[in-house]
Each structure stands twice: as structure tokens, then as C-alpha cells.
Chains A and B, each alone.
Chain A
Amino acid sequence: MENRSFGIIGSILFLGIVMACQSGKDPGPEATGVYDPTPYDWKKPANFPEPVYGFSKNPMTQKGVALGKMLFFDGALSRDGRIACGFCHQQYSAFAHADHSLSHGIDDKIGTRNVRNLQNVAWSTAFFWDGSITDLDTLAVSPIQNPLEMGEHLGNVLDKVRQRASYPARFKEAFGTEQITQENFLKALSQFMLTMVSANSRYDKYVRKEPGGDLSADERAGLSLFKQKCAGCHQGELFTNQGYHNNGLPVSEINDQGRFGVTKKETDRLKFLVPSLRNIERSLPYMHDGRFWSLEQVLDHYSQGVKDSPTLDSRLKTGGVPGIPLTEPEKKQIIAFLKTLTDQQFITDRQFIPN
């Protein structure tokens, strides 16, 4: 009995604290309801190529980015109000969701793929493991409507957002109209996602010859091995050629055929969109189904586990034998290099934290 009353008192105390938090909660500075087109100063990192996103069709403003952030962290985008975008896209794992092989969502349902990072989306020509979405502005529709993710209809989401007292004035500030449309809702989300630029890892500072850009001998050796053995697919400063390749993973029971599901072309069987390797250390597990939990396992796959099949990428065969020859010290050096792609500034940047 004593235990129970203590528990009840404890619960009341905590409820009190939580309610105190909630009443003191301000979703950002008070909205003025006045259109404010002050641009958001989006900068291309010096070592990056030109972005592919059409900024002219959705000019980024400070108010637009702030609105997008509010929406990104708002559970109202899901059917039961519990699953915000930020539930699966967590800053400390570079907007992926560490620790789950398969993503999970509404009603505790489990999906069929491992969530990909949201980073450097301004350069992305396609999204999802099968590249089924090619425009950032329509990206959010998929998770909102996926019955295993947010399980809601976009129309209902818009209705809920319209009914929230805090939103119309903020849409007015961002887009000059209180009308909440599918277009400005999605464009606000895009604006926030476009701010997720990761370009300040130790590697970046090394290539830009900036302070803090020192790589050890092992890391430099790893970089050079990486360029020889991995950069065919994980190309350039984005660490992806944005192509679809079969990397020789044995097909699991889920029998995910990847890109084939979109194109229905035999030649696309088992091909998946090459992910960037930026912040890879922080976004485990790896592969489309999250089957590997460590970078060591990933490299072991590429050296010993590659399974031959008609669509296997030619770069993954050496003299007809599947796999990339790698010695144990080489693997260690490559992993040392991959860890220099962790962008501490990005994963702790306060601008991504909800107000």
C-alpha cells in the first residue's frame, strides 16, 4: 500500500512537472502573422558540387525554415499524433534512426526497410532505397501515407494543421497567405530539410585545408584505399553516385527486390540506391534491411560475403570472383577513414532542435 501511494504521489508530481513544462512551452517566438520574406542564407559548401534542388521554385526564407521545423517535429502529421518525422529521423544519427534494423511507426508496426538519413537532400536526385521519389517536395507524402509509418492521409494532416491555432499565422509569415495548402505545407518541410547540410566533418576540413582537418596516417591510408575500392559507387564529396546497384547481399526472407519494384525491369533486380557514407558511424545498422550492425561486418561482406547473381555490380567482381579483396589491416584503415566522415557540428547543431 505504501508503495502504491508513493507511486501515485510520484505520478502526480511528475504530471505536475510535465504540465508545467507544457504550459511554459512556446513553439518558437510568437507569430506576428506578417509576411516576412527575409531569405534563409543557404550556402553551398566549398567542396560540394552544385545542388540539384530547384531553389527558385521554393525560395528559402527564415520563416519558411522555422515553419518546416515545427511541422517536422509535429506528431499531428501521423494518424494518432505520436509519430513525427523526427521520430525516425533523429539528429544524433544524422537524421536516420540508429538501433533498428527495420523502421517502425504507427501502432508499433514494423516496416520492411531500414530508415535512410536525411542529409544533404539538396543534392539528392532520388529518395528511398528504391528511388521511388525523385522530388524532395513530394518526399514527405510517402511516410505520412505509409500504413506502417505515419498511417495518415495527407488531406487529414492538412485539416489538422489548419485547425491548430499556431499554424495559420506562421504560414502567413512564410508564404504570405494563411491558406494552408498541400503545396506550401510540403514546401515548408522541404525548406527545413534543405538546411540539413552535413559538410563539416574532419574529412571536409581536411579537403578544404581548414583548421581541425588533420587525418592520421591510418585515416589517410584508409582514404586512399577507399578511393581505389569503394568510390566507384560511393563517389565524390556526397559519397554516392546516386545510382542503383546490386551489392551482392544474399536475399533475405523479406525478398526485397529493390529498384525492380519500381521499374519492373529484370536488370534492376536487387538494386538499391547507393547511400551516402557521411555520418555512417552514427547511423547503424547498415544496408536496406539493417542486417549489419557494425562497419566491420559491412567490410567483411564486401570482402567475403558478396553473392554472385545476374545483376551483381561488375565492380564487385575481381577476375570473375565476387568480392573486393581487402586485408584485415586495410579494413581497419578504411573504417578509420569512414569515421572521419562524422560531422559533430551537424549532429549537435542547435538549429535543428525543436523550440
Chain B
Amino acid sequence: MKNAFFASGMSLFLFLTVLVACHNDPLEPEYGTVQLRFDNVVGAQELKLDSTTYTNGSGEPFTVSRFTYFVSNIKLKKADGSEYVVPQDSSYFLTSQSNPASRTVLLRNVPVGDYTSINFMVGVDSLRNTMEIGKRTGALDPGGAAAGMYWDWNSGYIFLKLEGTSTKAPVDATGKRNFVYHIGLFGGYQTKTANNLKTIQLALGTQPAHVIVNGTTGIQVKADVLKVFDGVKPLSIAAAPTIMVSDSAKNVANNYATMFSIGTVQVD
């Protein structure tokens, strides 16, 4: 009896300690979930693989057969400038148009509050690119989820792939009119390369994301394929149907750095 009384007294004490500790730290009292949904579009249209023909700024018709990119190093910022940085080990996501589930990124344990902007990188940062292979798990496993999204130690991960067909592309060796943009290069491991890493900052503007206790806040991020062609410097499929590690890659990267925008924000 006495023991039970003691135990419940201890529990009460512990409970109060936790409670007080929580109240003493108003910045990180409780947590919610943020769901980032990457919706790929082509101008005003939803992106549909293979079946739909679109037209880029150079007037070239094209279809898209693959649109895949890495999103990493995500940060959420509040109006007062404080930020929540998603822990490094769980901040790499490979989104793919062909896999709808991959386009929804769940960020758990986000401190409650009103967030006014979001930051992320398109690609895989240089540190992770040079990390030992054992640290390249999940979305970063070149033999698994990241198959096809990696070149080698010096060139690193491919940050973004846009592939498709265009009647303006020349015929390749297999008789197809393909265009292929594979963009990567983080600066180089042994030999210096270009650095095509892009950090994106998107303001949520008039509609801050309210993260509430145990709630899920959905943020829709739109990515416009047309911007990959025309964001800053217009690219022509006819002139360069294949862009991978050549100097033109930086033009594609500068272009796609402008493709993201915030769609809707909602709390469930």
C-alpha cells in the first residue's frame, strides 16, 4: 500500500516535471506533421506521363516519360526568423512522377507554430555525396531507390531527370526521338566539377502554415516542367536533346531552380 502510494506519488511528480519542463520551453512544446506534396504541372496543366503533348517556349512539342528529382535539406521558417531544420538523416527524398506516393513527403515532429517559408535543396549536397556508401540508405541507395540517379564518386548523384520525346529531337541510335536532361554535379570529389546544387526558398506569403498539435498541415508545392525549359534561359530540344554533364547543365539547373511555387496550404 505504502509502495503503491509512493509509486503514484513518484508518477505524479514525474508527470508534473515533464509538464513544467514543457511549459518552460514555449518554443518546442508540442509537435505536428507537415505533409509536402510535390505536384508536377506543365504550365496550367497537370503533368501526365507519355500520353500528353505539351509545347515549350521554343515552340517545340514534347511528351514527358520521366520526371524525377531529389528534394533534400528541408527547413521551415517562422516569421520571427526561427527555423525548424529537418534532421539530416531523414531529409533526403526522391520524388518521381511515376510514383505518386514518392511525391508526398511527410515531416513528422515539427514544432507547432506558424511557418511562413520553406527551404529545400534540389539534389544531394556535397557532404552526403562524398559520404561513405554505408550512409547512403533509403532514397540515397544507388543500388536501390536511387538506382539510375547516380554517376560516380566524382560526379555524384543525379539531382533531376527529365526525359521524353519530341518530334524536334534528332533520331538517336535506336531510332527514337528522345530528349534527356540528367542534371547533377555537386562540385567534385577528386576533381573539381561544376556545382549545380540549387536551394529553393518559397514564401508561404499570406497563408502561413499552421502546424498544430497532432495535426497534419498540408503544403502543396507545384513544379512546372515548362520552367525547366524556359525558367531563365530558354532551351531548345532541337539544339541540345541531351544534356548531362556538359556545361549546358548549369542552364537547366538555373531554369529548374525557378520551377517551384506554393499551391495550397491547409490544416487537417
Contact = CB atoms under 8 A, between A and B. Distances in A.
Interface of A: 2-3, 6-7, 10-11, 14-15, 17-18, 21-22, 25, 27, 73-76, 81-84, 86-87, 90, 92-93, 98-99, 101-102, 104, 107-112, 252-254, 282, 289, 291, 347-348, 350, 353-354
Contacts of B246: 107-108
A253 B174 contact: yes
Interface in B10-34: none
A62 B126 CA distance: 30
A73 B151 CA distance: 12
Contacts of A348: 133, 143
5 contacts: A17-B187, A86-B154, A102-B174, A252-B174, A253-B173
Nearest to B187: A18
B84 interface: no
B199 A10 contact: yes
A82 B193 contact: yes
A90 B142 CA distance: 10
A192 to B, nearest CB: 14
Interface stretch (B88-96, B108-116, B237-245): B237-245
A10 B123 CA distance: 13
A93 B143 contact: yes
B190 interface: yes
Contact of A253 (B152, B175, B240, B243): B175
Contacts of A83: 245
Contacts of A17: 125-127, 187
Contact of A112 (B125, B133, B173): B173
A15 B192 CA distance: 10
B188 interface: yes
Nearest to A3: B201
B191 A18 contact: no
Contacts, number: 124
Given A3-B201, A104-B242, A74 B257 contact: no
Interface residues of B, number: 44
A29 to B, nearest CB: 15
A86 B152 contact: yes
Interface of B: 119, 121, 125-127, 130, 132-133, 142-143, 147-148, 150-155, 171-175, 186-193, 195, 197-199, 201, 240, 242-246, 248, 257
Given A87-B152, A108-B245, A353-B133, A101 B186 contact: no
Contact of A108 (B150, B152, B191, B243): B243
Q: DSSP class of B's interface residues: helix, strand, loop or mixed?
A: loop
Given A84-B152, A92-B150, A6 B243 contact: no
Contact of A74 (B190, B198, B244): B190
Given A3-B201, A84-B152, 20 more contacts: A6-B199, A10-B121, A14-B186, A17-B125, A17-B126, A17-B127, A21-B126, A21-B127, A21-B130, A21-B189, A27-B190, A73-B190, A82-B245, A92-B142, A92-B147, A98-B147, A99-B147, A108-B240, A282-B143, A289-B173
Contacts of B257: 7
A320 B128 CA distance: 56
A156 to B, nearest CB: 16
A86 B156 CA distance: 11
B126 A14 contact: yes
Given A7-B257, A18-B186, A110 B172 contact: yes
Nearest to B246: A108
A74 B126 contact: no
A166 B155 CA distance: 21
Contacts of A101: 174
A254 B193 contact: no
A27 B143 CA distance: 25
A112 to B, nearest CB: 4
Given A82-B245, A98-B148, A254-B174, A75 B197 contact: no
